[in-house]
A = this chain, B = another copy of it.
Amino acid sequence: MNQDYIVPNNWSIIEEGFDAERIKSSESLFSIGNGAMGQRANFEESYSGETFQGSYIAGIYYPDKTKVGWWKNGYPEYFAKVLNAPNWIGIDIEINGENLDLNTCTEVKNFERELNMKEGWYHRSFEATLKNGTQIKVDVRRFLSLDSDELGVINYEITPLNKDAKIVYKPYIDAGVKNEDANWEEKFWEPLDTKHSDNEAFVVARTFKTHFNVATYMSNSIFLNGKNLNSTPVNVEATSEKILFVYETEAAKGEKSSIQKFGGYTVSLNHENSQLISAAQSVIVKANAKGYEVLLQEQIDAWSKIWEMSDITIDGDVKAQQGIRFNIFQLNQTYLGKDSRLNIGPKGFTGEKYGGSTYWDTEAYCIPFYMATKDQQVARNLLTYRYNQLDKAIENGEKLGFTNGAALFPMVTMNGEECHNEWEITFEEIHRNGAIAFAIYNYHRFTGDYSYIPEKGLEVLIAIARFWHQRATLSTLKDQFVILGVTGPNEYENNVNNNFYTNYLAKWCIDYAVEQIEKVEKEYAADYSRIISKTKLETAEIINWKKVADKMYLPYSEEHDVYLQQDGFLDKELVKVHDLDKSQRPINQKWSWDRILRSPYIKQADVLQGFYFFENHFSKEQLERHFDFYEPFTVHESSLSPCVHSIQAATLGRMEQAYTFYLRTSRLDLDDYNKEVEEGCHITSMAGTWMSIVEGFGGLRVKNDSLHFEPKIPEQWQGYSFKINFRNQILQVFVNANETKFTLEGTQELTVYVNGKAVLVEPNTLVTV
């Protein structure tokens, strides 16, 4: 953890000073993305120090050959993973004959990075003295256009400070990239074609095996003191995978020389292969027509619209404010909800770790954020993503021995194929299936849009119910159904029997599927017969499902009056985390795996995840008892842990604890709690941060088609506000220690409930409670 790394600021992420040790961490934190592509904050100019180069294109993946120690039946031979894409940002720079490289300059001062979240751009500036004695000032601004999501923009300015300078710009595009996360150090890109003319260049490459074609392009202009010199390259260096232009220019001491580079990708997901270069040309034409200043203003406007809906303000706590905005900003950089083929990778566009793009994080943590801050189509696209992968989930089930259309959705995926290869997770962390069903329920609960279920959702629910029915087995000893050999959300337990969360969710999935079948049968007859005919569902089958749900075993301790995380939990040595020597933590770094497994320590909410999903099934007393029983054993070594506990602590009125959890979730990356931010940011848990405020402090719940609030505020804050798109009505909520205020956009009134009391909110009128 490093609390002094990032300068506190309401709207920007700022780093001051050049520290080679922090390069990789800052490359993660200052990453930019526009939903369609993104990249780590690598330098444009060459850098010979340690760096982690990464550019990524949404939806472009590679089926890397599996690497395992010992093969287990059922493992996928290949799995799709996030792919480092060709580099379009590179600009090698020569100053008076010397290559600019911050790692070899004799002095670097006033180095600063700023990620301006309000306006959606990244800026870097510094003064450097080269070995040849030339001093220069550099200012670089870069952004990825939200409006034209195939376009990236760089404005790179150099001012010689102590003498005139001959400046050579060598912008390039390069498909010769490697993945940090490749299993076998293979190349994933095959160059197909290059083209260049005047100031434009194109490299077309395709991924091996998956054959995604991508044109990477650039278009460059050289300026002096803001005036376009209309330069053309004096030289072009071209190979089959890289094109580099050489521009020579001179700047007198104090003059501002600059290069504007437009670049990005056009990809075969969105264009015909044969049209990739012409599509890129058309992006360039439009960008040149607008010019840099207009593009920047459009970017500012586009981000302004996003913030208008999704901003959360916090008064009196800059670090908390910066934290929540960083989380909201990153989520919007990663996924904008326009395309149901895309999803939210755990590292977004900030790194490669964790392989694929889609985890149960999406359903359990991200959907609430997108439902409340976007049009409902966005969440619907996330649900549709799984619907479109249902066939592969059924195949995945078959691979593991399930039949009759039972689906097991993958633990990690890009395209529906399983991307994970640890048996205890891949085969056993099956609760993910439950989260996918829960998201359908949650979507309907929040948006009121039932149409998704007859159109698509019911098929998913049936396939999931079939899975649970087959996966449970009858214990003749207990005369109840048991679910053996699972891993729950708490991955510090593997291959356990009767994980409460999994069993409860399985039972709920079946019950919910049966309810929806009945409802669709009654109310959507045409859909019903289509689905019945497609799934070959029979009444007898449903009766068998119900037997499982009705007789599902849930481990319980009479002594402690709590559900047990799994069979045998009470046989453990129940030493609380608080009583564990600090030198032993984090246990995932200090302890061997077997020791972790036999300990009582919980990585992230497990039983409590069940209480989070199904809060309304339990009394507040039950929640309190379970929270008091399990939280003391929880080490929160997953980025997904603090948010759920923050919400529950707030629900129980334990504001100090809720606030501590909140800080941990919201500044996890900014303060680098786990000393791993150099691998990328924890994108999906950022949605949990949003939930901590809205559901935790704000106490937002949807019950009976209405919004309910139980507003609370941490002592450290003077006030906070957030906005909710509830069924196309935009409600803003302001909370301070004394009162809660609401404003409503539009023309229709809305009744909300505050601490159980109905409050009528008239449009465009401040209501204070």
A residues bordering B, Cβ < 8 Å?
66-70, 72-74, 399-401, 421-424, 427-428, 473-478, 482, 484-485, 494-498, 559, 567-568, 570-574, 588-598
Contacts and interface: CB of A to CB of B under 8 A. Distances in A.
Contacts of A559: 477
Contacts of A473: 571-573, 598
A421 B70 contact: yes
A407 B74 CA distance: 35
A569 to B, nearest CB: 9
A598 B484 contact: yes
A475 B570 contact: yes
B399 A592 contact: yes
Contact of A422 (B69, B476, B485): B69
B478 A400 contact: no
A401 B591 contact: yes
A400 B597 CA distance: 12
A571 B495 contact: no
Contact of A485 (B423, B498, B590, B598): B598
A571 B482 contact: yes
B497 A495 contact: no
A490 to B, nearest CB: 14
A73 B428 contact: no
B485 A73 contact: no
B70 A597 contact: no
A68 B494 CA distance: 18
Nearest to A480: B571
Given A588-B73, A589-B73, A485 B594 contact: yes
Given A72-B593, A73-B588, A571 B427 contact: no
B593 A74 contact: yes
Contact of A478 (B423, B474, B571): B571
B69 A568 contact: no
A401 B592 contact: yes
Contacts of A589: 73
29 contacts: A67-B68, A67-B69, A68-B69, A69-B69, A69-B422, A70-B421, A70-B422, A72-B593, A73-B591, A73-B593, A400-B592, A401-B591, A423-B593, A423-B594, A424-B495, A427-B592, A427-B594, A477-B571, A478-B571, A484-B571, A485-B594, A485-B598, A494-B494, A495-B597, A497-B571, A567-B567, A567-B568, A567-B571, A568-B568
Contacts of A495: 424, 494-496, 597
A567 B421 CA distance: 27
A595 B497 contact: no
A321 to B, nearest CB: 37
Contacts of A497: 568, 571
Contact of A68 (B68, B476, B477, B588): B68
